[in-house]
Amino acid sequence: MEEKIRKILSIVLEVPEDEINEGATPYTVENWDSLNHLKLITAIEEEFGVKLTDQDVLEMQSFKLIKSILSNKDVR
């Protein structure tokens, strides 16, 4: 799952994969602004086949949080 999240972040935010680590947040990745966040959510939902709640959308503000929210939804 981590690998997949990393790929999605890299493609959507247009940052090389190796620059995205566990600590990635909107503060550390320049392109991660509110407009790109919408794109990110769209990509995550499609790639993992989940529908996120509006609360999830708000909370997914870091690599770690994306991972933990997706884990709670039982996706791989």
CB 26 within 8 A of CB 61: yes
By the rule CB under 8 A, 21 interacts with other proteins? no
Q: Judged by CB under 8 A, which stretch of 16-24, 50-58, 62-70 contacts other proteins? A: 50-58
Among 35, 72, 74, 76, binds other proteins (CB under 8 A): 35
Cα-based distances in Å from 71 to 6, 13, 27, 67, 68: 15, 22, 23, 6, 5
Nearer of residues 58 and 65 to other proteins, judged by Cβ = 58
Among 15, 50, 57, 75, binds other proteins (CB under 8 A): 57
Nearer of residues 37 and 64 to other proteins, judged by Cβ = 37
The residue count of the chain comes to 76
Other CB atoms within 10 Å distance of the CB of residue 63: 20
